[in-house]
Structure formats: C-alpha cells, structure tokens
Amino acid sequence: MTTVEKISMGIIGIGMATTLLLPGRQTVPVIDAVRKLFSGSLATAMNVPRR
C-alpha cells in the first residue's frame, strides 16, 4: 500500500468508527454516502455510467 492509500483508509476507518460509536449519529446515511463515493470513483476510473 502506498502512503496515500494508508492515509485514506485511516480517515475512512476513523469516520466509520465515529459514526458507529457516538450517539445521535446517522449511521445508515453515512455508510451509504461512503459506498457511493467508492462506487462513483470506481465507475469514473472504469469509464462506465454511474447508477
């Protein structure tokens, strides 16, 4: 893994842990937003239309 990948995974991991552990957070919308971010980035890299 490159340094950028490690930093990105760390930020995402901290964000996910914060979402799940702190009270009053909107867990489902945040997880869905992260999923859309990755699928959109992958779709852009593969040059296919997003769903």
Domain boundaries, the chain: 3-46
pTM value surpassing 0.85: no
Q: Tell me how far apart the alpha carbons of residues 19 and 17 are, in angstroms, rounded to a whole number.
A: 5
Residue with token string 């930020």: 11
Q: What is the pLDDT of residues 1-10, one digit of tens each?
A: 788 889 999 9
- Digits of tens for pLDDT over the chain (51 positions)? 788 889 999 998 888 887 777 777 677 777 788 888 888 777 777 777 765
Total Cβ atoms within 10 A of residue 1: 8
- Cβ atoms of 34 and 19 closer than 8 Å: no
